[in-house]
Amino acid sequence: MDIAGYELAQNPKAILDNWNINTNRWLKQHVYLRLDGAGGPLPTLLTFATSALWHGFYPGYYATFISGSLYVMAGRKIRRHVRPLLMSPHNTAVIAHSRLKTVYDFAGWLLTQAGVNYVSVAFVLLSPPRFLAGWHHVGYYGHVMLIVVFAAFRVGDVAGYLDRVRQQRIRRAAKVY
């Protein structure tokens, strides 16, 4: 485990990359990459389901890992469409240094930590009545966040809008130079 990497992770993938590193490497190599050709959410879902199976047969493991897979997929969507807006329009490898980037980084860290803490309730409490009661006491905020992200990208076409904004930035930057 990379403790600093885990504690400072700004997205769900980064937090997983720093937790149980050897197991995650094995899962990536022997499950995810073999399913990657299937496309869509299937490789991610089956990799997380394999990890749940590895842990045992308590329902809390499956609730944790399936919810975790949804967090990873939501994080990918946000990173793919929001982060480029914070990059220099001339070179996507250069990150713009701005207050907005600092806010993005902090929000990513905060939401990642909140998400992990939320889904971990099921991992610890194991039985559905117990972990559902735990999630109920916090208003199911983790699943509400997931619904908002997926609905915004699916129904609200946030991805298309953000991509258009980015293309406009690139065109404006090209006129300046």
Catalytic residue positions, numbered: 20, 55
Please tell me the distance from the alpha carbon of residue 27 to that of residue 8, in angstroms, as a whole number. Answer: 23
Structure tokens, 32: 């995810």
The gap from C-alpha 26 to its chain's centroid, in whole angstroms, comes to 20
Q: Is 172 in a helix, a strand, or coil?
A: helix
Q: Nearest to residue 81, comparing CAs of 9, 174, 150, 176?
A: 150
158-176 and 141-154 helices, crossing angle to 10° = 60
How many helical (H) and strand (E) elements, i.e. helices and strands, does the chain have? 10, 0
Please tell me the distance from the alpha carbon of residue 139 to that of residue 134, in angstroms, as a whole number. Answer: 9
